[in-house]
Amino acid sequence: MKKLFWPFFVFSLTLAAQTSGANQPQPLQPVRTDKAPVLDGVLDDAAWQAGPQVDGNWVTYDPLFGKTLPQKTKVYLAYDGDNLYFAFYCYDNEAGKIKTSITRRDNLWNDDWVGLSLDAVGNKQSGYDLFVNPSGMQGDIYRTANGQDQTTDWVWYSAGKVVNDGYIVEVRVPLKNIRSASGNQVAMGVLFWRRISRLGLSGAWPQLPPGEGVFNSAARMIFARLNNPLKLEALPSFTTGSIWDRESPQHWTAPDRSTEIGLGLKYGITSSISAEMTLNPDFSQVESDAFQVAVNQRYPTFYSEKRPFFMELGNIFGIAGYGGASNVTAAVHTRNMVAPQWGLKLSGESGRTAFGFLGSADQWPGRAWGGDVENPNLDKNAYFFAGRGKYNLGGENYLGAIYSGHAFAGAGNHVIGTDLSLLFMTNHSLKFNYLYSFSADANTADKTQGQAVTALYNYTTRPFNFGVRFEEYDDDFQMDSAFYQRTGFYKFRMYTNYNLFPNAAKLPWFQLASPYLLAFYLHDTTSGMDDKYLETGWNFNFSRQGYFSFSYSLTSESWAGRTFAQKYFSASSGIQLNKWLNVHVCGGFGDSIYYDELDPFLGKSWQLHAQATLQPVEKLNFLAEWVHSGFKHADSGEKVYDVNIVRSRLTYQFNKYLFVRTLVQYDSYRHKVMSDLLASFTLIPGTVIHLGYGSLNEKQGWLDNQWQKESIAGRYYQTRQSLFFKVSYLLQF
């Protein structure tokens, strides 16, 4: 199958020039101002007196494309030598129904919001998506031609205010905090967004047609003169903490104290290229990884990156065709670097070229194992290296190359590859990638090589979507930097759906009905066995962000030398009932495999997930969540497991900078209760103070002077507690 890849690859290059021909509005010309506007939600500053540059109709794109957004929006643009300024007047004839909150960053998505997507370099390959709710709270996303990454935060400023006929938002983006072009007649791309929560509608200006791409749809902004100053940043951090473990029911260990001093440095080589280094990077985001149902899982669980130094790299090293339903979730999954001692990265964009380089030393493989077993590679570091390059072929199209390497104690893994992403003829897209790996085993001296290929085609219009994906992985393919499920297979996957639009005059609350069909065929080249899957269902969208979906699937799955036939039904629903309550429920039941290597068997499984978010006042948010999963033997009816995970989070946000939060999680399968208390002050991303206390309670018994976790007579003991303090300060020169 891989032999077919290269003819398709070469043919696809001929399509690169066929970029979108969508009609673009006239270029926008922001006003040059000598006096910076005050961010207060009042448009009385001199910078806004020239009037709005955007004052036309906005067109919906979610959940459907093509309607005029019911409420009018005006946008004002200005700039000076150091900043870009944006102001939005979001009219609303039912201002009392505007939903807003005082909340932490990136937690505004159920509110009304407005924002922009800024292609600051102007090459249609990467950009900054900035969102603000009516109270001035922020959310930001880093966007590339391969997708979005919500984990990255930048320093920018905003304010919002609800008024009698809507709400007003003002935004200031310091040029030193983003990559951008500079010089005379600088061109950037911009697209504006607005979400009306109670209607469940999102709109954009310019319009965002299906399959078109955000960068291709963006309007041009022209600046007569723009100098993005070179920047130097330093991010020193200090973290100290203590951990106590319960030795016996009556005694605790002495505190295990640790203190870490970290440092990050960033230098802007040019306005669009920067170099960075870090020593002892830490988890500056302090939200704990949530308990997940990890019982009877065929594949490992993916956890996203939380360390600031590594977060932006997810999309820089994103590969065309990966993510979503792909075998590979991330080609460079930096959480594989568990305890980095240091890290270096160089990234940027110049003309048509974008690039990134990462190097890191991981102390985790050389750690002391404890007990009587000694690590033969004690105090040795593992080294990761990755390089990425992309060349713009026009519009959002690009041709890319990637390298990743991993070395530890004589073992090595090296991967080289190429990828191609194309949007052509308005509604069509093609994504390809090809990887080749070289690996050496330190213990056996064996050397292996392997290949991997992915090809993805999509056709997207307002009523109809169709996609097909092909993947093939050699059994000896290995990529230590990546997060992937399996090797030694090839797979065909097809998805299609059709959108039906009810009569808006008769059913204004009913937005969309969409039947779909999903199928795939997988052949395991190692065992010679096959997997087959067929699913059909319907998705419905309503006002108030309401939705309902159901599906029915038939599966023939191979595992441990046997093939199992399965049937499964699932459904989900959710709605923003009013300004203070959002609910979500989903579940399913049917046949499932118990993944035992020696004696797998077919059983009946069921899943249920219920979640409610309450916001009685703007500053208080309470989330309650219940996840239930069960499994019983199909023949005997014997219950194999029954898991309940209960999670609650209560947050009080005093203002945009300071919040306190309590988090409690319970896992019935592992008999664990975890709680976290946190007080957090964030002036800007990087300048933070965190004070936290955590505890772990486990069900176990004390017998023969040792803990017995399987003891029938056990009860819940607090087995661990921790206290930590973290402070960091972002210095910008």
For 416-471, the pLDDT digits (tens) are 999 999 998 889 999 999 999 999 988 888 899 999 999 999 999 999 999 999 99
**At a CB cut-off of 8 Å and minimum separation 6, what does 654 contact?**
102, 619, 660
- Helix (H) or strand (E) holding 452, with range, is strand 447-460
DSSP 8-class letter at 2: G
> What does the alpha-carbon distance between residue 121 and residue 119 come to, in Å, rounded to a whole number?
6
Residue 130 scores a pLDDT above 90: yes
pLDDT score, position 7: 57
Q: Please say whether the beta carbons of 176 and 730 come within 8 A.
A: no
Residue 3 scores a pLDDT above 80: no
> What does the alpha-carbon distance between residue 643 and residue 395 come to, in Å, rounded to a whole number?
49
> What does the alpha-carbon distance between residue 274 and residue 347 come to, in Å, rounded to a whole number?
6
Tokens of 109: 């998505």
Query: If you average pLDDT over every residue of the chain, what do you get?
Result: 90
Q: Using alpha carbons only, give the angle 347, 235, 384 rounded to the nearest 5 degrees.
A: 45
- State mean pLDDT over 495-509: 91
- Helix (H) or strand (E) holding 417, with range, is strand 411-424
Question: Is the Cα dihedral 86, 226, 36, 152 positive or negative?
Answer: positive
Q: Please say whether the beta carbons of 568 and 591 come within 8 A.
A: yes
The pairing of beta strand 483-484 with beta strand 147-149: unpaired
**At a CB cut-off of 8 Å and minimum separation 6, what does 312 contact?**
142, 149, 152, 347
Tokens of 337: 């670097």
- State mean pLDDT over 238-260: 92
For 707-723, how does the pLDDT look when each residue is reduced to its tens digit (9 = 90+)? 887 655 678 999 999 99
pLDDT score, position 733: 85
The pTM of this model reads 0.88
- Helix (H) or strand (E) holding 8, with range, is helix 5-13
Tell me the CB-side half-sphere exposure of residue 622, using CA atoms within 13 A.
Answer: 7
For 620-631, how does the pLDDT look when each residue is reduced to its tens digit (9 = 90+)? 999 999 999 999
- State mean pLDDT over 388-410: 94
Q: Which residue has the higher pLDDT, 509 or 535?
A: 535
- Helix (H) or strand (E) holding 497, with range, is strand 489-498
671: region left, alpha or beta (phi > 0 left; psi from -120 to 50 alpha): left
- Helix (H) or strand (E) holding 469, with range, is strand 464-473
Quickly list H helices, 276-377: 308-311, 313-316
- State mean pLDDT over 102-116: 93
In the chain, the largest separation of any two C-alpha atoms, in whole Å, equals: 82
Tokens of 19: 């970029």
Residue 344 scores a pLDDT above 90: yes
> Of all residues in the chain, what percent carry a pLDDT higher than 90?
70
Residues belonging to the chain: 733
In sequence order, the β-bridge partners of residue 241 are: 258, 724
Tokens of 108: 């505004």
The pairing of beta strand 601-617 with beta strand 581-594: antiparallel
Question: Is the Cα dihedral 232, 149, 659, 36 positive or negative?
Answer: positive
For 666-684, how does the pLDDT look when each residue is reduced to its tens digit (9 = 90+)? 999 889 999 999 999 999 9
- State mean pLDDT over 372-395: 92
- Band of the pLDDT at 11, cuts 50, 70, 90? low
Residue 343 scores a pLDDT above 50: yes
Tell me the CB-side half-sphere exposure of residue 473, using CA atoms within 13 A.
Answer: 17
Burial pattern 297-324, b for ≥16 Cβ within 10 A else e, equals eeeeeeeebbbbbbbbbbbbbbbbbbbe
- State mean pLDDT over 357-371: 90
Q: Where are the beta strands (DSSP E) in 579-671?
A: 581-594, 601-617, 620-633, 639-653, 658-667
Of the candidate ranges 17-21, 363-367, 528-532, the one whose mean pLDDT is the lowest: 17-21
Residue corresponding to tokens 């105090």:
379
In sequence order, the β-bridge partners of residue 585 are: 573, 610
Q: Please say whether the beta carbons of 189 and 221 come within 8 A.
A: yes
CA 73 from chain centre, in angstroms, equals: 29
CA 407 from chain centre, in angstroms, equals: 28
DSSP 8-class letter at 104: -
> What does the alpha-carbon distance between residue 606 and residue 604 come to, in Å, rounded to a whole number?
7
Quickly list H helices, 320-369: none
Residue 20 scores a pLDDT above 70: no
For 537-596, how does the pLDDT look when each residue is reduced to its tens digit (9 = 90+)? 999 999 999 999 999 999 999 999 899 999 999 999 999 998 899 999 999 999 999 998
Q: Where are the beta strands (DSSP E) in 33-165?
A: 59-62, 73-79, 83-91, 113-119, 126-132, 138-144, 147-149, 157-163
The pairing of beta strand 581-594 with beta strand 562-578: antiparallel
DSSP 8-class letter at 323: S
Tokens of 378: 């004690």
Tokens of 584: 């979500």
Residue corresponding to tokens 């306190």:
660
C-alpha R_g of the chain:
27
Residue 389 scores a pLDDT above 80: yes
Quickly list H helices, 147-283: 214-217
For 272-321, how does the pLDDT look when each residue is reduced to its tens digit (9 = 90+)? 899 999 998 765 445 555 666 667 777 777 777 777 788 766 668 889 99
- Helix (H) or strand (E) holding 10, with range, is helix 5-13
> What does the alpha-carbon distance between residue 239 and residue 256 come to, in Å, rounded to a whole number?
14
CA distances to 157, 421, 432 from 428, rounded to whole Å, are 38, 11, 14
Q: Using alpha carbons only, give the angle 69, 72, 75 rounded to the nearest 5 degrees.
A: 115
Residue 125 scores a pLDDT above 70: yes
> Of all residues in the chain, what percent carry a pLDDT higher than 70?
94
Domains of the chain: 33-226 (2.60.40.1190)
